[in-house]
Structure 1
């Protein structure tokens, strides 16, 4: 029956049409709907003992509504005209501040009043639009291709969040009519995806970013769409209740192969706010050759297992009888900019819909193209950013697995139970365990912080080794810290350790020779330099007391700066007076500059 499956709006609520016709005992034509909000429903399609339709959700989400009370929506052009030409329609008056076009220099130029009226030449007004945001406008159908193409010839970004779109055919029709479209946001629409797409269906080669947040989209439907999206750079799938990217255990290998060949150019995948709970559920992503950003925040993910990715890729290559280097296409050329995380407004990151002009970069640094041979060795070969905020990671071994990702530079891990295992909040442990991080939880990891964190982490490891009761226990400690050997090799001399430190030899009684130089100009302070040997175990508070005695600076107003050999710029030794010198990586030949600041300055520190 015509109209079945269409999306409609009744006052402020949306629903899907399941039946149109008469109802026994009632006059007129009725529309049987399945509400998006099941609590609005009264039954499952049955009235007076007669079954008229079935709710797909299986819930009592159905109702009968008189047809005259049902809004079947409007066309895209009607909505655009209402929004951008001052026409009064379902959207009402349009805020003049939101009416603009882009110039050739990509500047926004507002459409101004002429006398008492807005410019109302519809075609000339919307023909120059490059970005359009038509949110919550009850768009349910597309106009003829020729009409759309001639009316919106310059459109590259379109936001259709929260409308009444119901079929992929309509979306495909739109994109073929607008060949310049690059960014399309279809969030919060219930779009029916066919089980398969005809091989002769025109590919949408210009589309680079697709947003399908809160669309009740299943992963197999996403793979189906991939057949016509050969150049997709970004894909956003937040809030779709996706549990796994694996169809079944028996189809794991084919799923890996399918994903790698379907989305070979994908650089950003956003799967936040879904139901992914185990790492095996995202294993197919390891084969994506150009994936540089993966967003998994707000999933009940309880583990990270990089090693399993290696095994999965090898198994997929064997099972499909296709070499891995053939399975994964060559890295593509860089595409145009990207739109960023889930909720996109110009210059912001949040939750919601994409706004015009929000085109950005999928990653701060474009990963270098990699050869097929290197792909044989490493899963996630280009992954630079991994967002795991508010997941369910509860063991440090999963953080250690993150250190195995070959080019990981940015990580978000806030809100995970594992951080509660650390008295200090866990930042130094994460930095110490993952060697290549440049950005952690949105904050830059500077070279000084990395050195301090790695030294502090290594000291904790060595303390664990020393406290272990026997050789087996010591070996177990070492196995639980994969970076231990690397860090001992890097900092052993600084800590006064050698290979025996791995067996728990004591680091007590190690000393360091420092040049202490007073640069304070306050009355009573003695300027000059003295060379002193001090134990590495001394903390900054004790070193300050020594400087008070040597240079007569005022206690409580001493500030210390460390200048390393060959480094002309001294660094602030910080306000944490409990830190031992060993944590700072101080070696023989370092100079400590002693200055004096007033009480107000000291409080700010």
Structure 2
């Protein structure tokens, strides 16, 4: 029906009555007049589950006036309409699972008006001018009761520049898919990879970010980097005893990360630098604790070298399969403590390995 020009819902109803159990309807690029009485039309749309009304010059008020016609509606697309202000749907749209209001000039302080929709799982707010959102019913680090079923949120090409907005999104209890391309969320080092790591670390339940799968190793690496990045600030704010309220507001997930991985080592924090800094050659000594007959091997390696490549080098030197190699390292600043090197796709700088450190090499 997308190729038919229509002006009123009565015309739509007349056509749909010829189609039993109609579940999907695409009425984009039409100019539909709101009916004065919707109840006579309800029968025509009682089975409707998917409705697209893109570029129909409709307001949210008009949508709510028509909504009693669609008691079973689950998917509603309203791209490029005249929607500026959202209002709470009272007794309508209660079956809605997927709502797309992208490319509408929304007043951002009205977005929470739809937060009580009980079954809403996917919300697209891209290109709406959004710069802020607040869930004031929940303290930093806790979960909001708003958008309780929301699993997917799309905020692409908005005006989000502050990490406090991401902290607020961390309060959503069910969020697992998030897209935010085209916003200016910058890390202190200006590296987009670092910004992505911060998003993963701040949103602890995410499974997909910008349509990319988050593997367990990616999450662990992002969270460990985040802990190192703000570890000194954490120490200065009170550390493990009781971080200041100001620190918790800025980094609400930090205490749970400390609980997950343990408190960051103060000595390592002071020598950690962002991945974006220029490569340095590190003098590293490889030692073999289980094979004392083997002499230590000294190499100069770039700090950007991945653990996978290091294992490849050791494979050529030792003739041991890379998958059998287990690596740890020790630093002169913390004698007697071995730190695991356990993610093949991370770099030496990720582990804060410094010039002069020793890497212990073991294999089964």
Cα shift at 1:304: 1.9
- Residue-by-residue CA offset, 1:173-209 (whole Å, 9 max, x unaligned): 2223322211110001111113x42444433211110
Query: Among 246, 249, 266, which residue is 1:479 paired with?
Result: 249
Change (3 A) 1:174 1:579: same
Query: Among 233, 239, 259, which residue is 2:74 paired with?
Result: 233
Q: Is 1:167 paired with 2:8?
A: yes
Q: Is 1:388 paired with 2:155?
A: yes
- Residue-by-residue CA offset, 1:214-248 (whole Å, 9 max, x unaligned): 010111110011111000010000001311103xx
Rounded to whole Å, the distance in 2 between the matches of 1:475 and 1:285 is 30
Rounded to whole Å, the distance in 1 between the matches of 2:72 and 2:311 is 64
SS in 1 for 2:62: helix
SS in 2 for 1:263: coil
Cα shift at 1:479: 2.7
Rounded to whole Å, the distance in 2 between the matches of 1:552 and 1:488 is 38
Rounded to whole Å, the distance in 2 between the matches of 1:406 and 1:469 is 28
Q: 1:202: which partner in 2?
A: 42
Q: Is 1:442 paired with 2:284?
A: no
Rounded to whole Å, the distance in 2 between the matches of 1:235 and 1:544 is 47
Q: 2:280: which partner in 1?
A: none
Q: 1:180: which partner in 2?
A: 21
Contact 1:562–1:572, Cα closer than 8 Å, also in 2:
no
Rounded to whole Å, the distance in 1 between the matches of 2:190 and 2:323 is 26
Contact 1:527–1:551, Cα closer than 8 Å, also in 2:
no
Cα shift at 1:299: 1.3
Query: Among 398, 401, 415, which residue is 2:165 paired with?
Result: 398
Cα shift at 1:406: 0.7
Rounded to whole Å, the distance in 1 between the matches of 2:361 and 2:151 is 37
Rounded to whole Å, the distance in 2 between the matches of 1:180 and 1:452 is 50
Contact 1:302–1:391, Cα closer than 8 Å, also in 2:
yes
Correspondence 1:470-549 to 2 at 5 A: 475-492=245-262, 495-496=264-265, 506-507=267-268, 530=291, 541=305
Cα shift at 1:281: 1.5
Q: State the TM-score, normalizing by the size of structure 2.
A: 0.73
Cα shift at 1:285: 1.4
Q: Is 1:273 paired with 2:44?
A: no
Say how many residue pairs are matched. Answer: 312
Cα shift at 1:552: 7.1
Cα shift at 1:508: 6.2
Change (3 A) 1:214 1:572: same
Which structure would you say has the larger RCO, counting Cα contacts within 8 Å and 6 or more residues apart? 2
Structure 1 unaligned segments of length 5 or more: list them: 1-158, 247-255, 312-376, 497-504, 511-525, 533-537, 565-569, 583-589, 595-605
Change (3 A) 1:193 1:575: same
Q: 1:218: which partner in 2?
A: 59
Contact 1:296–1:388, Cα closer than 8 Å, also in 2:
yes
Rounded to whole Å, the distance in 1 between the matches of 2:114 and 2:126 is 16
Q: State the TM-score, normalizing by the size of structure 1.
A: 0.46
Change (3 A) 1:552 1:442: closer
SS in 2 for 1:411: strand
Contact 2:38–2:66, Cα closer than 8 Å, also in 1:
no
Contact 2:307–2:347, Cα closer than 8 Å, also in 1:
no
SS in 2 for 1:417: coil
Rounded to whole Å, the distance in 1 between the matches of 2:67 and 2:74 is 12
Change (3 A) 1:291 1:543: closer
Rounded to whole Å, the distance in 2 between the matches of 1:244 and 1:160 is 26
Q: 2:130: which partner in 1?
A: 301
Structure 2 unaligned segments of length 5 or more: list them: 272-286, 297-301, 328-340, 354-359
SS in 2 for 1:164: coil
Contact 1:562–1:592, Cα closer than 8 Å, also in 2:
yes
Cα shift at 1:172: 1.9
Query: Among 408, 424, 432, which residue is 2:191 paired with?
Result: 424
Structure (1 or 2) with the larger CA radius of gyration:
1
SS in 1 for 2:161: coil
SS in 1 for 2:13: helix
Rounded to whole Å, the distance in 2 between the matches of 1:561 and 1:579 is 22
- Residue-by-residue CA offset, 1:310-358 (whole Å, 9 max, x unaligned): 79xxxxxxxxxxxxxxxxxxxxxxxxxxxxxxxxxxxxxxxxxxxxxxx
